[in-house]
Chain A
Amino acid sequence: MPAIDVAQSANSGKKLNRRKVRWWKSRTFDFLQFIALIAFVVWITWRSAAAMDYRWQWYRLPKYFYRIIDGELIWGPLINGMFVTLEIAAWGMVLTLIIGLITAILRLSDSFAGQVLARTYLETIRNTPLLVQVSIFYFVLQPILGINNPLWTGILALAFFEGSFASEIIRAGINSVPRGQWEASSTVGLSKAKTYIYVILPQAVPLMLPPLTGILVNLVKHSAILSFVAVFELTTEARNLIGDTFMSFEIWFTIGAMYLVVTITLSTLVGVLERRIGRGR
């Protein structure tokens, strides 16, 4: 997310001083530079692969996306894997927001027990590796809680991880609403809960959206870790395919590109949504 921010501001900066630019700072030169860079990377990759005697077999790839059998479209493992990844990210985001909101409200509350609970959760999640957390969910909590679906165990584990970051974003958003809003709300008779719903969150959510996009992107990326607990998301499918076909270069490049397409699309969509909300006032 910060990387995207920087890229955007760099772009708009360029737009601003577009007049009077030297040729080496011009758009065209930028573009040529970019093409040259890509060409260089491709060349290096190709050269190293050649040195390793790697046999490129891109032509075998399409059928792992989709096949048409008897005029019927059948998705291949890569697309199916991507759907599972999106499913993880979607449900994960819903749970992340719930966990994040509850944690943020607990931390902002006057309740000592609530604050201790929230702090314990945050410190535990932040100071242990994600891989260990997923393992605990999968090997310890799943049998205890009796969840018999590794997909949901995985989603839960990811949501608890990302929820700790979301809670900070939500807390910062809530804190940025001035105290006078709380006071005005209570003088027109609203309880604390109603003040959150009708006064604080409507003002805080637009501020939270940009950083929360980063969480959504992280969910897409971090879902790859679930490949190690037998969830059939994109990375698992890719690893299985490589096992079957030995096309490791092609497939790793391909799923890398697929993750990129998904995350950039998501960021763009949220950007549009944000501008909509911004215009609504």
Chain B
Amino acid sequence: MSDGTGKQAMIQLRGVNKMFGDFQALYDINLDVYQGERVVICGPSGSGKSTLIRCINRLEEHETGEIIVDGIRLDDDTRKIAEIRAEIGMVFQLFNLFPHLSVLDNCTLGPMKARGISRTEAQKLAMRYLEKVRIPEQAGKYPSQLSGGQQQRVAIARSLCMSPKIMLFDEPTSALDPEMIKEVLDVMIELAETGMTMICVTHEMGFAKTVADKMIFMDEGRIVEEATPAEFFTNPKNDRTKLFLSQILLH
């Protein structure tokens, strides 16, 4: 698969279906994400956005279809899955920081225990990313002592410490108070500017307009619309997209 420049897609989904028991959460998903591309996924609650990005790092296992990440096909081979997971960072809606570890230790755990980097090296790395997300002074604190916005920035730093090739964001700001949303989005915009390949599930349309290369709208387990931001916001083709946009922009 290639785009106009002949580049290989970093993430390829071909005809992916996902069931939860009898309930089909994803229908025939096809998606290409190229290196450095920023994709924003939106859609109503329950439309399968989380399921889609969780299939990419195999937090969920798809039933049929093909998912290829950085040339590696996702199947039952656990060694490959560990390899792929190490390349994909993920930021969760509810942060999922390790509450028993300090901010610094949250960031060094992966590099030290999964990559075998020495403590001093890992701490240097962690401090570099904590500075990038602008909270180096909180390194010694525990997650419960931080605000939601600060916790989410730690979660981003923790992911970046694994030097991922891809970052997945699952509604990273929807659990935050309004005044903290911006500090997290700013960090994400800066990350986008570094050329990181990103897939963001979010309803922050301002953010989407700023960084997205591609907009995806999902409904009832299907990708209903895929377009550039310019097209997506000014001239959506699908009626459900129009309805959704009108509702969300009214907010």
Give me the interface of A with B, judged by CB distance under 8 Å: 178, 180-181, 183-191, 194, 198-199, 202-203, 281
Contact = CB atoms under 8 A, between A and B. Distances in A.
Interface residues of B, number: 27
Contacts of B159: 187-188
Contact of B92 (A184, A190, A194, A202): A184
Contacts of A203: 98-100
A174 B211 CA distance: 40
A85 B229 CA distance: 74
Contacts of A189: 82, 85-86, 110, 113-115, 162
Interface string B157-200: 01101100000000000000000000000000000000000000
Nearest to B59: A183
A188 B115 CA distance: 10
Given A198-B109, A198-B113, A281-B142, A186 B96 contact: no
Contacts, number: 61
B100 A202 contact: yes
Nearest to A199: B98
A188 B110 contact: yes
Contact of A184 (B82, B97, B100, B114): B97
A188 B167 CA distance: 12
A180 B92 contact: yes
Contacts of A281: 99-100, 142, 144
A178 B92 CA distance: 13
B196 to A, nearest CB: 15
A186 B57 CA distance: 10
B96 A181 contact: yes
Given A180-B94, A186-B59, A203-B100, 14 more contacts: A180-B92, A181-B98, A184-B92, A184-B96, A184-B97, A184-B98, A184-B155, A187-B57, A187-B89, A187-B90, A189-B85, A191-B114, A203-B98, A281-B100
